[in-house]
């Protein structure tokens, strides 16, 4: 029995704490033709701006551009100073959100349990979670990659059903390669992404073959094609290389 990968490729840029609103608008307007180009090659394009630029990008980008929040709270309202709720995002037409990015886990005490609460709330509101998992350098050097990643997947997605996770996206981001210029080899990326898919299959059955798994970590135009040639890598979550329109277009061109 053989399986043909029909999963649609996804290029998602994470802008982190970058770009003023005026810069975000300029990028959004310039990206419209890229979305049309991507559609011709069956590729989804998206960006995750800061909260302050979400509505501006949504209003000025091609209607088929995915616009994702970088985080969200699991409660719909309440005394949570500095947080943003799902209804607030949906009011502006935002239907995607990153959850559990390593920088959130490192600097903001984002635990697997918090990720689970956020993912559950997003799915209940017909939104798409992009669940980020990955190990630190010390964990990688101690050969604990699969142990750490499996725990993140199982704890973050516990109690969900196969029907609920169909639109989920998982992003494998080895923490030791994010913003460091160090790249996980294509062999490592494929091995871990396949392990994630096998874990999802154990949890949810054949729907795991429909779930898109991205690789992230110092992805650049010159290496993205090699990563996306791996059978279990369906796209990329890109940081710095997604900030400039020329580089973003080069990323797209190199996976078409």
Catalytic site residue from 103, 110, 135, 173: 173
- Residue recorded with tokens 């050097």: 141
Catalytic site residue from 73, 101, 103, 135: 101
CB atoms within 10 A of CB 132: 28
Sign of the CA dihedral with 26 first, then 28, 32, and 36 last = positive
User: How many Å apart are CA 200 and CA 64, to the nearest integer?
Assistant: 28
CA atoms within 13 A on the CB side of 172: 30
Nearest 10 degrees: Cα torsion 169, 97, 19, 245? 30
- CA distances for 227 relative to 47, 123, 215, angstroms: 19, 28, 7
User: How many Å apart are CA 17 and CA 4, to the nearest integer?
Assistant: 38
* Angle in degrees, CA 113, 197, 174, rounded to 5: 65
Catalytic residue status for 91: no
- Residue recorded with tokens 């890229």: 34
Catalytic residue status for 173: yes
Residue 231: which residues within 8 A CB-CB, separation 6 or more?
5, 190, 194
User: How many Å apart are CA 15 and CA 8, to the nearest integer?
Assistant: 22
Helix (H, G, I), strand (E, B) or coil at 66: strand
Beta strand ranges found along 176-225 (DSSP E)? 212-215
Residues with active-site annotation: 101, 173
């Amino acid at each position: 029995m053989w399986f043909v990968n029909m999963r649609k490729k996804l290029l998602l840029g994470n802008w982190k704490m970058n770009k003023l609103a005026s810069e975000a608008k300029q990028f959004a307007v310039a990206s419209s033709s890229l979305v049309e180009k991507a559609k011709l090659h069956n590729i989804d394009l998206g960006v995750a701006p800061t909260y302050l630029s979400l509505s501006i990008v949504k209003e000025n980008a091609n209607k088929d551009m995915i616009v994702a929040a970088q985080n969200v709270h699991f409660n719909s309202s309440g005394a949570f100073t500095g947080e943003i709720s799902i209804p607030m995002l949906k009011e502006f037409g935002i239907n995607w959100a990153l959850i559990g990015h390593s920088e959130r886990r490192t600097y903001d005490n984002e635990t697997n349990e918090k990720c689970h609460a956020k993912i559950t709330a997003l799915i209940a509101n017909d939104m798409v979670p992009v669940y980020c998992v990955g190990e630190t350098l010390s964990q990688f050097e101690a050969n604990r990659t699969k142990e750490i990643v499996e725990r993140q997947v199982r704890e973050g997605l516990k109690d969900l059903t196969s029907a609920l996770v169909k639109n989920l996206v998982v992003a494998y981001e080895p923490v030791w390669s994010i913003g460091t210029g160090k790249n996980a080899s294509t062999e490592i990326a494929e091995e871990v992404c396949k392990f994630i898919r096998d874990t999802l299959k154990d949890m949810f059955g054949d729907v795991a073959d429909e779930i898109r798994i991205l690789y992230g970590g110092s992805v650049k135009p010159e290496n993205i094609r090699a990563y996306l040639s791996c059978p279990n890598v369906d796209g990329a979550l890109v940081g710095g290389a997604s900030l400039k329109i020329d580089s973003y277009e080069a990323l797209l061109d190199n996976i078409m």
